[in-house]
Structure 1
């Protein structure tokens, strides 16, 4: 069997990548920071998934994690429970952790690494535009972007630089998803789902005015597999998004149309831009959105569809399934 390492299998995208690989017949190993998560991974993703300990903050464990693997999906990314006091709290682990995985993969003879990057490495810090973002674009970190977008941009740039200068023979491809939605695998899920959850439970007092792309987590996992195996994917970036961007009011309308009475708490009014921008100056959670308020960050997945034959499911279905899944979680 072909052996594949997925870093961060206890995460939302990582978990779905593990499931997609298992369904496709691969032998899967995954890393976690804490082996206490192993029972939950086995219960959710399968008893045959090998779980090993490796942390993005340390060199320890990575040679053993990649040993014998043909491919690596580097999905793990540093997460913080609160807004960092300094950008480097998020940037340094992202960059250094990516280089640790690439270096270990190169030394172990891994054929190809697929790095989970993000639209955050593409679409931020630019002037307003009428055309969709493509893989040719890079986020302008000099425009004061939030730490998450900065970390994704610098980590991906470091990955491409490593392959060009040190990782000769190691192939690299990146997947750059827009906001990721879809069924949850448990109580821990992607931050992208928080906005849907807040609409459903009424904790969002109003809809914010910005538009971005959305994509189903299962399609993101599928794109990782295509990027891992397709000859045409080596050395390429791939945006993962389903159709055009959506404003929050569009998502609210879909929830009300699909869920009926169960969407009774979904806001109907949009927060005035002036109010939202004022809040973004003082509210740490809102501050990360300050550069995109009033903006449309449309992007296209035409490249993935053309080169790899990737076909995402309709985002309206994903939004409805996301809501259904969230509503089933224990309160």
Structure 2
């Protein structure tokens, strides 16, 4: 007997690290998936990553070309869709020096997706925001961060955090005005196994440490979460009625320093971790170097700040159970080694 095909889900930005894992989980659960790509030439790459994750048939997967920076095809992308999972972020070839431009791209892109979802009368939108929309700009915040917190847009924050915060705020305002169901997922540093050459900024930090390109570590800690658990949380937020109108931080609830991460790698990877340093750099030196090194500017804004986040809401309301942080960090390193990315 042929089972009834599940609903069609639109996932934006299908080649991205989080999006791939969401598509993987949707296909394994029998959903049909339509996903957007800015360039259709990446279809084979997406299929290759999904194959690496265990998908053997692509009968329930379709692609459509759409770019967050223009209106083309967004209406067509949402037609016939039950749910939208909006993961994509606008990624210009080079990061604009003008922070306002980055914010505008993020807000405009989000509103394009929300408008298309409204026209298509979708049941619910689940948006991937970021913990950067919660914890930035709070130099004096001793308490653990929760979903009730919002980034302080008046604080000294990076354009990335500003763009994530304002894009999420724009989505909530649009949803309220148009009586739409919206849930947002706010991942911390995303770790976990890599399926191809598309991986997260947090994965890149593990790679840099393993390659010995970080001889001195910044004295700071961040929460992390496994990408497989981030994907699971998106599906829970999509299907559980109580998730409508709610934000959910995606974190293991463990705040781990760069030094502790480096020690994990040294303890578990033997010769592969010979280049890993556990030496730390004083804060004043990080701030000085950040003047000249773009890569340090965003992390430098978090020096001396608490960044610990709570996962109690996702666990209590949705029954979400993330694996330990250590597991995700080691899975990142293991797949980096296996894919010869070092």
Q: TM-score range by the shorter chain?
A: over 0.9
Give the 3-state SS of the residue equivalent to 1:289 in structure 2. helix
The match for 1:199 among 191, 209, 222 is 209
What residue in structure 2 maps to residue 107 of structure 1?
A: 119
C-alpha deviation, 1:80, in angstroms: 4.2
What residue in structure 1 maps to residue 45 of structure 2?
A: 40
CA distance in 2, matches of 1:296, 1:180: 18
What residue in structure 1 maps to residue 31 of structure 2?
A: 26
What residue in structure 1 maps to residue 3 of structure 2?
A: none
TM-score of the two chains, using structure 1 as the length reference: 0.97
C-alpha deviation, 1:82, in angstroms: 4.2
CA distance in 1, matches of 2:304, 2:93: 27
Unaligned runs of 5+ in 2: 1-5
Which region of structure 1 is more displaced relative to structure 2, 321-330 or 107-116? 321-330
Give the 3-state SS of the residue equivalent to 1:294 in structure 2. coil
- Distance change in 2, residues 1:118/1:238 (3 Å): same
Unaligned runs of 5+ in 1: none
C-alpha deviation, 1:277, in angstroms: 1.3
C-alpha deviation, 1:97, in angstroms: 0.7
Give the 3-state SS of the residue equivalent to 1:115 in structure 2. strand
CA distance in 1, matches of 2:92, 2:120: 30
The answer to whether the 8 Å contact 1:245/1:296 transfers is no
- Distance change in 2, residues 1:296/1:263 (3 Å): farther
What residue in structure 2 maps to residue 260 of structure 1?
A: 270
Runs of 4+ in 1 over 6 A off after TM superposition: none
The match for 1:138 among 150, 153, 157 is 150
What residue in structure 2 maps to residue 3 of structure 1?
A: 8
Post-superposition Cα deviations, 1:33-72, rounded to whole Å, max 9, x if no partner, equal 0111112122322533201001101111001101111000
Give the 3-state SS of the residue equivalent to 2:289 in structure 1. helix
What residue in structure 2 maps to residue 223 of structure 1?
A: 233
C-alpha deviation, 1:260, in angstroms: 2.2
Give the 3-state SS of the residue equivalent to 1:184 in structure 2. coil
The answer to whether the 8 Å contact 2:188/2:251 transfers is yes
The answer to whether the 8 Å contact 2:141/2:305 transfers is no
The answer to whether the 8 Å contact 2:106/2:167 transfers is yes
What does 1:1-331 correspond to in 2, within 5 Å? Answer: 1-45=6-50, 47-48=58-59, 49-165=61-177, 167-168=178-179, 170-331=180-341
The answer to whether the 8 Å contact 1:32/1:51 transfers is yes
Post-superposition Cα deviations, 1:271-309, rounded to whole Å, max 9, x if no partner, equal 111111111122211111221123330001100000000
- RMSD across aligned C-alpha pairs, in angstroms? 1.2
Give the 3-state SS of the residue equivalent to 1:143 in structure 2. coil
The answer to whether the 8 Å contact 2:9/2:32 transfers is yes
Count of residues paired in the alignment: 329
Which region of structure 1 is more displaced relative to structure 2, 79-88 or 191-200? 79-88
Give the 3-state SS of the residue equivalent to 1:133 in structure 2. coil
C-alpha deviation, 1:81, in angstroms: 4.9
CA distance in 1, matches of 2:45, 2:210: 27
CA distance in 2, matches of 1:80, 1:245: 31
Give the 3-state SS of the residue equivalent to 1:296 in structure 2. coil
Post-superposition Cα deviations, 1:303-323, rounded to whole Å, max 9, x if no partner, equal 000000000001111111110
